[in-house]
Structure 1
Amino acid sequence: MLKKLNPRQKFTALLLVILLGGLVLSGMALSAVLRQNARRDITSTALILLETMSSVRDYTTNQINPELIQQLDEKFLPQTIPAYSAREVFELLRKNPEYRDFFYKEATLNPTNLRDKADTFEAKLVEQFRANDKLKELSGFRATASGETFYIARPLVIGKASCLQCHSTPEAAPPTVIERYGSGNGFGWHLNEIVGAKMISVPADTVIHKANQSSLLILAIVFATFIGIILLINLLLNRYVIRPLKHITRLAEEVSTGQTGVEFKQLSDDEIGSLTRAFRRMQLSLEMALRRLNRADKGREIGKDMSQEISSNSNS
């Protein structure tokens, strides 16, 4: 099939093959890089959210709780609980479209509110934090009922003695807390103990979709650029190679039919110019050869005429 194509078509076909191969290879490499970048961007956002929730917890513990703790004997006030404040603030954040795919949980081994109970996977993360107090962060992907999820977790440490007022023993806890949650959960905590993990999670599709959007955009730009380059190369190839070759071919065909008056003009000093000079030398050699043949033919005709004249004179 390639034998039937002219040089420009062959060159274009070769460039298209290179383009497709390059797009496949670069697409695979680019996808991996962009997924890593997307994961890094989402991790950065998740860490900011975790720091924000930690600040909310500290604010509740240091400023809200001391003002309202005395009222817990008469009325349960969830605003005094750091975990409650953090969840409420996070839900307000999720109303922003930028954060709606993110979820926050304080996965706790022995929570007061069973909504915060750590599942099997989360419990393993907490145990890793408890086994290594130098471990400050864990992240990765996990399978859930709703699909694969990317998570980032940090240890939840009891850093304030005031937290033990509701979590040391049922007898020390405010009656309204026992009335709301019972006395079977959320007790036996100790100061500086890791009781859970603060976790931010986001569907893995969000990471992949963000990477794919960037990949498609970059590949589209590369593809359009390469197509533009192919068109430009074809234009230059036609102007500086194909068109001069066609001109030389036409002149050579005229010379081959005996039209020796054509002129091979050298228009450049490149390979095309060298080819023009070669054809011009060939033309000159052909003209010299033709002149010799013509002279030889004329000599033979003159000799033949002289022989005939001599023979005629002798007979007379």
Structure 2
Amino acid sequence: MYKNLKLSAKLNIILAIILIFLIGTIGFILSKVLQSYAEQVVAERASILIETMNSIRNYTSTQINPELSSRLETEQIFLSQTVPAYSAREVFEHLRTNDKYSQFFYKEATLNPTNIRDKADEFETKIIKSFQEQSREQTQGFRSIPGGDFFYIARPLKIEKESCLRCHGSPQQAPKSLITTYGNSNGFGWQLNEIVGAQIISVPASKVFEAARQLGFLVIGRIFILLVITSFLLNLFLKFTVTEPIKKMSYLSKQLSMGDMDTEFEQNTNDEIGILAASLNRLKVSMKMAMEMLDKK
């Protein structure tokens, strides 16, 4: 069937195959690039949130804690407002009331927390130990939990202020209200400059993939339009420079084979098509001379 098709149809089929191949290849490569880009965008947004949480932690440590620390010995219940981690988490929970961040999650996971809600799970424990073993400022990736797949970004939590050891050094030095509220079994024995946990912000992976898909469809759509226009222009170029001249030569060659010696092959260019036209004109002259010689005999 392909052998019976006209040259223009064959060229259009080849162009269509090339177009489909290019779209498929570009789409595959672009999906990988855009997914990486989407991860970077989400990671940058999460990094800003972590920096914000660190600012809140610092404010609590330097401004709130000094004002309330004296009450820790007299109050019956421990004042959680003096803890930087508590302030950061409360502010983040308020941020989650915004629909834009409702599916973001923040946790200061620790190996030996005072509050059991901050206890690191198995996956978070691996992250913390990797920070302890390797000097890294940040790690990110994907994890699966019962609620679905999440993209996370994590940073190490390091004890950099001696004031933190008041509540996490030894039970004997800890405020009475802390012991009364949380007991004397958890959250002690921390050391200065020790990495005790990790700040982790998690985002549903669908957010990352959806952002990549939307951007991918937009870019691929524009590339598709550009390739279609390019194919159309290339098809026109081939039509007027190749297929139409060959079609015309084919018709004239048929006329010549039927004895029409007045046939003239136009040579408008010096390319392969022009050379072919010149060769056919010479062939016509040779045939005409041969026929005249036969007539004389």
Matches within 5 A, 1:261-300: 261-296=262-297
Provide Cα deviations, 1:131-185, integer angstroms capped at 9, x if missing partner.
Answer: 45x3433333222112232222222122222223333344544444444434443
- Where does the alignment leave 5 or more consecutive residues of structure 1 unmatched? 297-316
* 1:238 maps to amino acid: K
2:171 counterpart of 1:208: no
The CA RMSD over aligned residues, in Å, is 2.5
* 2:129 maps to amino acid: E
2:48 counterpart of 1:51: no
Aligned to 2:167: 166
Where 2:187 maps in the other structure, the secondary structure is coil
Aligned to 1:125: 127
* 2:293 maps to amino acid: R
- Where does the alignment leave 5 or more consecutive residues of structure 2 unmatched? none
Identity %: 47
- Return the alpha-carbon distance in structure 2 between the equivalents of residues 161 and 10 of structure 1: 79
TM-score, length-scaled by structure 2 = 0.86
Aligned to 1:251: 252
Where 2:43 maps in the other structure, the secondary structure is helix
Where 1:235 maps in the other structure, the secondary structure is helix
* 1:252 maps to amino acid: S
**Deviation of residue 211 (structure 1)?**
2.5
User: Judging changes above 3 Å, is the alpha-carbon distance between structure 1 residues 55 and 257 closer, same or farther for their aligned structure 2 residues?
Assistant: same
- Return the alpha-carbon distance in structure 1 between the equivalents of residues 132 and 239 of structure 2: 72
**Deviation of residue 111 (structure 1)?**
1.8
Aligned to 2:7: 7
**Deviation of residue 60 (structure 1)?**
0.5
- Return the alpha-carbon distance in structure 2 between the equivalents of residues 130 and 265 of structure 1: 82
Where 1:262 maps in the other structure, the secondary structure is coil
Aligned length: 295
- Return the alpha-carbon distance in structure 2 between the equivalents of residues 199 and 210 of structure 1: 21
**Deviation of residue 250 (structure 1)?**
2.1
User: Judging changes above 3 Å, is the alpha-carbon distance between structure 1 residues 58 and 244 closer, same or farther for their aligned structure 2 residues?
Assistant: same
Bigger mean CA offset, 137-146 vs 161-170: 161-170
Bigger mean CA offset, 219-228 vs 231-240: 219-228
Aligned to 1:17: 17
Bigger mean CA offset, 271-280 vs 161-170: 161-170
- Return the alpha-carbon distance in structure 1 between the equivalents of residues 241 and 132 of structure 2: 74
Q: Which has the higher Rg, Structure 1 or Structure 2?
A: 1
Aligned to 1:85: 87
Provide Cα deviations, 1:71-127, integer angstroms capped at 9, x if missing partner.
Answer: 343365432221111112223433455544432100012222221111122123223
Matches within 5 A, 1:101-140: 101-132=103-134, 134-140=135-141
Aligned to 2:66: 66
Where 2:288 maps in the other structure, the secondary structure is helix
- Return the alpha-carbon distance in structure 2 between the equivalents of residues 29 and 9 of structure 1: 30
User: Judging changes above 3 Å, is the alpha-carbon distance between structure 1 residues 97 and 7 closer, same or farther for their aligned structure 2 residues?
Assistant: farther
User: Judging changes above 3 Å, is the alpha-carbon distance between structure 1 residues 166 and 243 closer, same or farther for their aligned structure 2 residues?
Assistant: same
* 1:195 maps to amino acid: V
Provide Cα deviations, 1:248-281, integer angstroms capped at 9, x if missing partner.
Answer: 2222222322332333332222222222222222
Bigger mean CA offset, 205-214 vs 169-178: 169-178
Where 1:87 maps in the other structure, the secondary structure is helix
- Return the alpha-carbon distance in structure 1 between the equivalents of residues 268 and 93 of structure 2: 76
Where 1:197 maps in the other structure, the secondary structure is strand
Where 2:168 maps in the other structure, the secondary structure is coil
